[in-house]
Chain A
Amino acid sequence: MLTFMASDSEEEVCDERTSLMSAESPTPRSCQDGRQGLEDGESAAQWRSQESEEDHEEEDPDRYVCSGVPGRPPGLEEELTLKYGAKHVIMLFVPVTLCMIVVVATIKSVRFYTEKNGQLIYTPFSEDTPSVGQRLLNSVLNTLIMISVIVTMTIFLVVLYKYRCYKFIHGWLIMSSLMLLFLFTYIYLGEVLKTYNVAMDYPTLFLTVWNFGAVGMVCIHWKGPLVLQQAYLIMISALMALVFIKYLPEWSAWVILGAISVYDLVAVLCPKGPLRMLVETAQERNEPIFPALIYSSAMVWTVGMAKLDPSSQGALQLPYDPEMGGVKLGLGDFIFYSVLVGKAAATGSGDWNTTLACFVAILIGLCLTLLLLAVFKKALPALPISITFGLIFYFSTDNLVRPFMDTLASHQLYI
Chain B
Amino acid sequence: MTLCAVESQLASGETARPGQAFFWLVSLLFSSLIWFTTATLIGNKDEPREKYLLIFGVLISVLIQEMFRFAYYKLLKKASEGLKTINPYEKAPSMRLLAYVSGLGFGIMSGVFSFVNTLSDSLGPGTVGIHGDPPQFFLYSAFMTLVITLLHVFWGIVFFDGCEKKKWYTLLVVLLSHLLVSALTLISPHYGLNLVLAYIIMVLMGVWAFFVSGGSCRSLKLCLLCQDKDFLLFNQRAR
Contact = CB atoms under 8 A, between A and B. Distances in A.
Q: Do A and B come from one complex?
A: yes
Interface of A: 74, 78-79, 81-83, 85-87, 89-90, 93, 350-353, 356-357, 360-361, 363-364, 367, 370-371, 374-375, 393, 396-397, 400-401, 403-409, 411-415
Interface residues of B, number: 53
Most buried by A among B5, B54, B65: B5
Contacts of A89: 9, 14-15
A74 B86 contact: yes
B120 interface: yes
A78 B2 CA distance: 11
Give the 4 A-B CB pairs with smallest separation, nearest first: A86-B12, A404-B32, A82-B8, A412-B188
Contact of B182 (A90, A93, A414): A414
Given A375-B5, A401-B32, A404-B36, A412 B22 contact: no
Interface stretch (B108-116, B161-169, B211-219, B229-237): B108-116
Most buried by B among A363, A397, A400: A400
Contacts of B51: 411
Interface string B1-20: 11011101100101100110
Contacts of B9: 82, 85-86, 89, 367, 370-371, 374
Contact of A78 (B1, B65, B137): B1
Interface of B, helix, strand, loop or mixed by DSSP:
helix
Interface in B102-151: 109-110, 112-114, 116-118, 120, 137, 140-141, 144-145, 148
A74 to B, nearest CB: 6
18 contacts: A74-B86, A82-B5, A82-B86, A85-B8, A93-B18, A353-B113, A353-B117, A356-B113, A360-B109, A403-B32, A408-B58, A408-B114, A412-B140, A413-B182, A413-B185, A413-B186, A414-B182, A415-B61
Contacts of A374: 5, 9
Given A367-B15, A415-B61, A409 B29 contact: no
B18 A363 contact: yes
A415 B36 contact: no
A364 B32 contact: no
B71 to A, nearest CB: 15
Contacts of B109: 360
Given A79-B87, A364-B19, A367-B18, A414 B5 contact: no
B181 interface: yes
B14 A90 contact: yes
A405 B36 CA distance: 11
A415 B182 contact: yes
Nearest to A400: B32
Contact of B116 (A352, A361, A396): A352
Nearest to B83: A82
A186 B25 CA distance: 39
B35 A409 contact: no
Interface in B166-190: 181-182, 185-186, 188
Nearest to A366: B18
